[in-house]
Amino acid sequence: MMDKHKLELVQLFSNLRLYKLANYTNEVLFDVGQEEQDEVKEVDALPSKVDWRSKKWVTTVKGHVPLPFHKVCSIKLRRKGRCNSCYAFSTVGALEGQLAKIKQQHMELSEQSITDCSANNKNYGCRGCLSYHAFECIRDHGIQTHKSYPYKAKKNNKCLFKSNKSVIRIKKFRRFMNNKDKKLVQMVADVGPISVLVHCSHSSWRFYKSGIYDNVNCDKKHIDHFVLLVGYVDQNPKSFWIVKNSWGTSWGENGYLRIIKGNSMCEINFCAAYPEI
């Protein structure tokens, strides 16, 4: 497992207080219990193409405006303020996919409830943190719909979550580290949309418009952004992943990015997670 220097962690979550992260190693950041350490069982036959948008397992891209950019992908939001809540959007997206798949319930869930209410699970609101801790919050307390607890692009002064309005609590969640392409493909094909970590600070990512993203300068040491992996295409000459971002439809291909498969571009293979309901 890749170790991270303390300074790298500060750069990764630069809006977090130093004393919160000064002693964090990679193992501490990703120590979320043995249930998340399972191995993916390999199979021989996998489909050459998966896109869960076609099954309506993926909800609409939320309306962020991706300007201005900062070192760790903070973004100026349409309404007001600046909020590093990508982990909430990635978490919610993975859960929305499972609700659609298993319960045939197509609904948008509340990123704001995670932003406001997961401090006890080691998340830091608009100062960012980890989707795995957001899964813990949903496991322990549940989550409301986006309509009943809408996104405000800022952290409220207090948690406004109401348990009687919760629509789902997950049973547990699973996390997989340092995934080979075949294992990540299998997760997407078998499970559905997956929460993954990437490096997004390179200008080629920030100002991506279209095409298959392939840039050797996309840093593999400074992962700093959660996105939702919703599919893949295996084809010649370039196979690619399909990624849903949380920067609005004006970014990329209507809010999505196609990123080359095969060499863990932007460290997309580093860590993947999903809930079980």
DSSP one-letter code for 226: E
Q: What is the pLDDT of residue 27?
A: 43
Residue-wise pLDDT for 66-122, tens only, equals: 334 444 444 333 332 478 889 999 999 999 999 999 999 999 999 999 999 987 777
Single-letter code of the amino acid located at 3: D
Q: What is the pLDDT of residue 41?
A: 59
Q: Is 225 a catalytic residue?
A: yes
Residue-wise pLDDT for 135-178, tens only, equals: 999 999 999 999 999 998 888 888 999 999 999 999 999 999 99
Residue ranges and CATH numbers for the domains of the chain are 6-276 (3.90.70.10)
For residue 22, name the pLDDT band (cuts at 50, 70, 90): very low
Q: Which of 121, 123, 179, 245 is catalytic?
A: 245
Q: Is 245 a catalytic residue?
A: yes
Which of 156, 131, 177, 163 has the alpha carbon at shortest distance from 275?
131
d(CA 71, CA 94): 26
The H or E element containing residue 195 is: strand 194-198
For residue 32, name the pLDDT band (cuts at 50, 70, 90): very low
The model's pTM:
0.81
Q: Which of 73, 83, 86, 126 is catalytic?
A: 86
Q: Is 129 a catalytic residue?
A: no
Residue 28: left (phi > 0), alpha (psi -120 to 50), or beta? alpha
